Amino acid sequence: MRWLLAAVALGWAGVATAQLFSDQEARRRADAAHVEVQAAQDSLRRMEQRLVTMESSMVERRAILDLAGQIDALRGDLARSRGQIEVMLNQLEVAEKRQKDLYVDIDTRLRKLEQVQEQASAAALKPPADAGPTEAEKKTYESALNHFKLGNYSAAIDLLQNMLVAYPRSKLAPNAQYWIGMGHSGRRDYRNAILSHQKVIATWPDDPKAADAMLSISSAQEAMGDKIAAQNTLQDVLAKYPGSQAAASAKLRLAQSVKR
């Protein structure tokens, strides 16, 4: 009986011990699983942080790329603006050069005009050898030239045109027609200036004013930007009126155009 009770007691003790070991293993495994879960959660948090960092970096890169694109676009606009400014400056320089040449030409003509007036005044004091201009013609002509010198080109043109209508065969007619052309040039109406000077050449080809008219046509053509036509006209002056003062001026202009 004692042996039986001892055996039973040992059996229950073995079961209890085995149960104790089983609970400890379960707790160990549970603790290990908890550690693994915690490690996985930590790893997941780190991955989330890296993802946030990468997304932030990508946004920054996109912003930098957008900014770089805007900078390139601004550089392109700046380059185009610089090119346009250079073209405008070049056009302005050419226009100023043409205007300066025109003013020099008009100033030269005005000096000749003053000489003509002085000669006309001196001739008026002498009795005419033949049928010369009447006093009315002279007064109209001189009045028109005075308007021209003051810059009243429209008034000068009107007076000279009226004079040509009233005295179409006047000896002053070539001069009057020439100064009509110069009046149009003074108003920057270069097309009518050329037409008026061409009329001088066609109507009075042997008059000294014909050479001056052809030279003025060249000035008007250059002012209009037709440089080739202007140079061709200068060549015509040399060919048709080689001994004139206009030919000397044409030769000088051609030499200057070669140096430009």
Length of the chain in residues, anyone? 260
What local confidence, expressed as pLDDT, does residue 125 receive?
42
Which residue ranges of the chain lie beneath pLDDT 50? 8, 15, 123-130
Rounded distance between C-alpha atoms, residue 260 and residue 251, angstroms: 15
Rounded distance between C-alpha atoms, residue 41 and residue 154, angstroms: 98
What stretches of the chain show up as alpha helix (H) in DSSP? 2-124, 135-149, 153-166, 173-186, 190-203, 208-223, 227-240, 245-259
* Helix (H), strand (E) at residue 244: none
Q: Give the CA distances from residue 34 to residues 19, 23, 29, in Å, rounded to whole numbers and listed in that order.
A: 22, 16, 8
Rounded distance between C-alpha atoms, residue 219 and residue 73, angstroms: 45
DSSP 189: -
| Rg from Cα positions in the chain | 52
CB 142 within 8 A of CB 130: no
Residue type, 80: R
DSSP 128: P
Q: Give the CA distances from residue 91 to residues 17, 94, 97, 102, 128, in Å, rounded to whole numbers and listed in that order.
A: 110, 5, 10, 16, 53
CB 147 within 8 A of CB 163: no
Please give the domain boundaries of the chain with CATH numbers for all domains.
Answer: 97-259 (1.25.40.10)
What local confidence, expressed as pLDDT, does residue 124 receive?
47
Place of tokens 């490690």: 39
What local confidence, expressed as pLDDT, does residue 99 receive?
64
CB 209 within 8 A of CB 174: yes
Neighbours of 120 (CB within 10 A): 17
